[in-house]
Amino acid sequence: MSVAIDSAPTSPIKAGSGWDRFRLARNTFWTVLCVGCSFLTLVPLFSIVYLVVVNGLPLLSPNIFAQLPPAPGLEGGGFGNAVQGTVVMVGIGILFAAPLGILSAIYICEYNRRSSLAGTVRFIAKLLTGVPSIICGVFAFARVISRPLPAESPWPYLRCRPFCLPPNKLFWEFRTRFGKLRTEWERPGSRPFFA
Amino acid sequence: MLVAASAAAYSASAQTKLNGAGATFPAPLYQRWIAEFTKADPKIQINYQGVGSGTGITNFTQGIVNFAGSDAAMTDEQIAKVKQGVVLIPATAGSIVLAYNLPGVGSLKLSREAYSGIFVGKITKWNDPIIAKANEGVKLPDTAITVCERSDGSGTTFVFTKHLSAISPDFKTQVGEGTTVTWPTGVAGKGNDGVTALIKQTPGAVGYVEYGYAKNNKLTFAQLENKSGAFVAATAESGAATLNSTQFPSEILRAWPSDPEAKDAYPISTFTWLLLYKKYDNKEVLDALKKFVTYGLTDGQKFADDLGYIPLPKEVAAKSEAALKSIE
Amino acid sequence: MPDTAAETPTGDDFRKRRFRFDLFLVLTWLASVATVIALVWIVWSILQAAFPAMAATGFSFFTNAVWNPNRNIYGIFPFLNGTAGSSGFALLLALPLGVAIAIFLSEDFLPSAIRQVVRFVVELLAAIPSVVYGLWGIAVIIPMVQSWGGFLSQKFGFLPIFAPPATGNSMLTASLVLALMVLPTITAISRTALVAVPKTLREGSYAVGATRWETIFKVLLPTAAPGIVAATILAFGRAMGETMAVAMLIGNSPRLTWSLLSPAGTLAGLLANQFGEASGMQVSALMYAALTLVLLTLLVNIAGELVLRHTQKTIAGIR
């Protein structure tokens, strides 16, 4: 998004009185502080990446995906079970969430844009993204785990996954495809407040 | 594609699968048994998850798992809820140690008054006279004591609080015993490994962890005073001394030596149980399970000392095997 | 064009077309309704499971400062305090930093390429998993807090906020890491708010001779204030719900404390820690706590959304 500061003064302001000089000095001070803070945020990110890379990279090997965790007291092994579990869980979650989210997005953009259902869906989808992930787990526990199930079933953990994904899918589709296009087409010159 | 491949893998195996869940306390030993047993018999695949005694018992009651592990065995009410019946099999035993982080203090003796006072919150500094009394000649620093405990429900907490309630009436009224208690002071971590991590990263920390975890993570732990007044360190012998004096009150193999009297007994030791049903519908599962548990009770005991557990006393092992045979 | 009477659409044709069964419309409508129902279902399930505890404790659940499942005493005041305290302090740290970065990204102090890099980095911070933040906190922040915290509690221990005991795992550690986690939220929304301020306001301010920063402080920030407030509220909601990183760093203590340097507990951490072993009334009490958490986050997010929509109208009005 372009920045609306073309009209900032480009030539140096002539500092006449002492007060003006003070104003200029204060200006420079705040600039330095602001830019400094912005670069300060790079530090934690690099720290995190450094920590993970330095400790993790030497141990990176194909074994990680192929092997199971070793018994205590033994070396080696990997966490292939965790990788597979993550992939399966996320895969099934997206399988549920993608159709739901895309269809909802199509509804609120193509049909009945201004209906109360469309407004409600937009609002509630945004709220759903704010629900803490532990609540999804608690919900799955209340609905699924409290009732006995056959062994080896990943079902309980997957039931809650779809609830976290539709809102994200919804908004991605909404904004990138339909939102900008439709708004500009319907109200030329207006600025969609999505960004 | 990975999803399809793993789905295929799930259905295509001709192996017998056993699922177990329960206490984290014996988890390292069970994992070792599983690793060695499946090497010898690859047709059987066993999966044990250390999710905590409580979840293990819940899953076991609902029939989600084939066997469970619990430090708190099962109460009579819990046993009544399981329609297939329950057989409690003491599988191994261990000690709970008080690990501490005091750079420069290599050995520490904690009297009964000292360690119960620390955990009830009365003693807050390391150079407190009560601690110093038992440690002549050791320079104790003026650091605050950070108590490390369990944030999740745990059989380890159950055994430790049972012992503290038995030796300290103060503790019994203020805190009580249970798998989850409200400690009057300190920081909490999740699981034995959580507490271990807390102790390692906090100078001046003291916490209760299972002996195997302390040994594997090279933590220093204290010698505790037992009922007869001797300061005992946690070893296989001192633990065995505790267990040898334990009597099982009935044919249900369940007992807790909360305050052993023997001179060389380590004060905080406990059995940990494998919970199995009295009847199994699936013959393959039953056979595989019997083979695995028999392995654990016989050959498996030799790994116990390495990993920091106490090998079962001979009579107890015999009783366990008899109980195992009674399952059909 | 030949338009015979037979080809001209009649009223009947229009009516038939309107009521033709559109399967796709039905499908999309169902999907939308499902999204709405999802949220209602989540809250309703938790409410159902929480009924026993609600009947047993009522409102004293929120004021009781003791959480003792052993004795069937359930009170979440320490956890409410911990949640509010850690999130609030995190916001206190993240707000100035976030707004500073937003200003940097919306003004041309440095070339656009550098601005894009910083923007990218800040958004990357949002992509790091919570557990990694926890591990980093344990490795880097805890030693820092241990040394500084010890010093602070010795010198300023008379202030309740710095009272001992000072441990590495404390509300301060959790707040520091939480601040990093909510920084991208504040930055993104604040930047949008700043950029949306109409050019006319800036031009007018420069025309009367204001310096760059005088414009920012006196014109831009006040105009963008509702957007920044919305950013804060949404970031607060995000911080309240954060589970893993906080549980690893805050010490998980069920005791009430007002000190930043002592261990504390949050609602999300309580749920994460105690659900595994809970049984009977404890499960219901935890569900009650979960209900509290979800209603609180919903309330905060609704407030943030409403303020954000109000901003849109305000800006449109100025234009």
pLDDT digits (tens, 9 = 90+) for C12-50: 665 555 666 788 888 888 888 888 888 899 999 999 989
pLDDT recorded at residue C95? 94
Cβ of B35 within 8 Å of Cβ of A88? The answer is no
d(CA A22, CA A8): 19
Three-state SS letters, A148-161: CCCCCCCHHHHHHH
pLDDT recorded at residue C319? 55
Largest CA distance in chain B: 67
Q: Give yes or no: residues C129 and C278 share one domain.
A: yes
Q: Give yes or no: residues C202 and C290 share one domain.
A: yes
Is there a domain that residue C319 lies in? no
CB-closest option in B31, B64, B66 to A71: B31
Q: Give yes or no: residues C251 and C191 share one domain.
A: yes
Is there a domain that residue C140 lies in? yes
Q: Enumerate the residues of chain B whose CB falls inside 8 A of the CB of residue A150.
A: 64
Provide the shortest C-alpha distance from residue B228 to chain A (in Å): 35
Higher pLDDT, B258 or C286: C286
Give domain limits for chain A. Answer: 17-60, 77-145, 153-195
pLDDT recorded at residue A72? 63
pLDDT recorded at residue A3? 54
Cβ of C253 within 8 Å of Cβ of B186? The answer is yes
B178 touches chain C (CB under 8 A): yes
Helix (H, G, I), strand (E, B) or coil at C49: helix
Cβ of B32 within 8 Å of Cβ of A70? The answer is no
Q: Give yes or no: residues C33 and C106 share one domain.
A: no
Q: Kindly write down the DSSP assignment for every residue of B157-201, as one continuous string.
A: HHHHHHHHHHH-HHHHHHT--SSS---SSSEEESHHHHHHHHHHH
Given a cut of 60, whether residue C248 has pLDDT beyond it is yes
Q: What is the mean pLDDT of residues C144-160?
A: 82
Cβ of C70 within 8 Å of Cβ of B176? The answer is yes
pTM (2 d.p.): 0.80
> For chain C, how many structural domains are there in total?
2
Q: Give yes or no: residues C69 and C39 share one domain.
A: no
Given a cut of 90, whether residue B238 has pLDDT beyond it is no
The torsion defined by the Cα of C171, C174, C176 and C177, in degrees rounded to 10, comes to: 180
Cβ of C272 within 8 Å of Cβ of A134? The answer is yes
Q: Enumerate the residues of chain A whose CB falls inside 8 A of the CB of residue C275.
A: 137-138, 141
Cβ of A127 within 8 Å of Cβ of C301? The answer is yes
- Half-sphere exposure at residue B77, Cβ-oriented, CA atoms within 13 angstroms: 1
Q: Give yes or no: residues C159 and C271 share one domain.
A: yes
Banded model confidence at residue A156, pLDDT cuts 50, 70, 90: very low
Chains touching B (at least 3 CB pairs under 8 A) are: A, C
Whether omega for the bond prior to residue C165 falls within 30 degrees of 0, making it cis, is yes
CB-closest option in A52, A124, A138 to C132: A52
Q: What is the mean pLDDT of residues B74-99?
A: 87
Q: Give yes or no: residues C49 and C67 share one domain.
A: no
Is there a domain that residue C67 lies in? yes
C72: alpha, beta or left? (left if phi > 0; alpha if psi -120 to 50): left
pLDDT recorded at residue B328? 77
* Listed residues C14, C40, C55: the one ending a domain: C55
Helix (H, G, I), strand (E, B) or coil at B228: coil
Cβ of B202 within 8 Å of Cβ of C168? The answer is yes
E-state strands within chain B? 16-22, 44-50, 67-70, 86-100, 109-110, 146-150, 187-189, 205-210, 220-221, 223-225, 231-232, 269-277
**Residue in the block written with tokens 């750079």:** B103
Q: What is the mean pLDDT of residues A129-139?
A: 85
Is there a domain that residue C285 lies in? yes
Banded model confidence at residue C86, pLDDT cuts 50, 70, 90: very high
Of the candidates B300, B302, B305, which has an alpha carbon nearest to the alpha carbon of residue B324?
B300
Q: Indicate the range of A21-35, A49-63, C188-202 predicted with least confidence.
A: A49-63
pLDDT recorded at residue C181? 93
Q: What is the mean pLDDT of residues B178-193?
A: 85
Q: Give yes or no: residues C89 and C21 share one domain.
A: no
Q: Which tokens in the block code for residue C120?
A: 């990218």
Side chain identity at residue C78, one-letter code: P
Mean pLDDT of all residues in chain B?
84
If 0-12 CB within 10 Å is exposed, 13-18 middle and 19+ buried, where does residue C15 land? exposed
Banded model confidence at residue A73, pLDDT cuts 50, 70, 90: low
In A, minimum Cα distance to B11 occurs at A152
User: Any idea what the CATH number is for the domain that residue C145 is in?
Assistant: 1.10.3720.10
Pairing of β B220-221 and β B205-210: unpaired
Is there a domain that residue C145 lies in? yes
- Half-sphere exposure at residue B256, Cβ-oriented, CA atoms within 13 angstroms: 19
> pLDDT of B273-298, one tens digit each?
899 988 888 888 888 888 888 888 88
d(CA B67, CA B275): 6
Banded model confidence at residue A5, pLDDT cuts 50, 70, 90: low
In C, minimum Cα distance to B125 occurs at C165
d(CA A140, CA B128): 49
B50 touches chain C (CB under 8 A): no
Strand partners, B125: B144
pLDDT recorded at residue C194? 92
Cβ of A71 within 8 Å of Cβ of B65? The answer is no
Q: Enumerate the residues of chain C whose CB falls inside 8 A of the CB of residue A111.
A: 25, 28-29
Q: Give yes or no: residues C63 and C108 share one domain.
A: yes
> pLDDT of A105-120, one tens digit each?
888 888 777 788 888 8
Q: Give yes or no: residues C231 and C255 share one domain.
A: yes
Given a cut of 90, whether residue B208 has pLDDT beyond it is yes
Banded model confidence at residue B8, pLDDT cuts 50, 70, 90: very low
In C, minimum Cα distance to B58 occurs at C279
Q: Give yes or no: residues C156 and C121 share one domain.
A: yes
Residues found in chain C: 319
pLDDT recorded at residue C199? 87
Cβ of C125 within 8 Å of Cβ of A125? The answer is no
Given a cut of 60, whether residue C10 has pLDDT beyond it is yes
C278 touches chain B (CB under 8 A): yes
Cβ of B307 within 8 Å of Cβ of A72? The answer is yes
Is there a domain that residue C82 lies in? yes
d(CA A136, CA C156): 42
Provide the shortest C-alpha distance from residue A41 to chain C (in Å): 7
Q: What is the mean pLDDT of residues C219-227?
A: 89
Mean pLDDT of all residues in chain A?
70
d(CA C169, CA A48): 19
Q: Enumerate the residues of chain A whose CB falls inside 8 A of the CB of residue B65.
A: 151
Structural domain for C19, as ranges? 4-55
Q: What is the mean pLDDT of residues A73-82?
A: 74
Side chain identity at residue B99, one-letter code: A
Is there a domain that residue C26 lies in? yes
> Which residues are CB-neighbours of C229 under 8 A, at least 6 positions away?
C307
Q: Give yes or no: residues C263 and C294 share one domain.
A: yes
Q: What ipTM was reported for this prediction? A: 0.78
In A, minimum Cα distance to B4 occurs at A88
d(CA B196, CA B100): 10
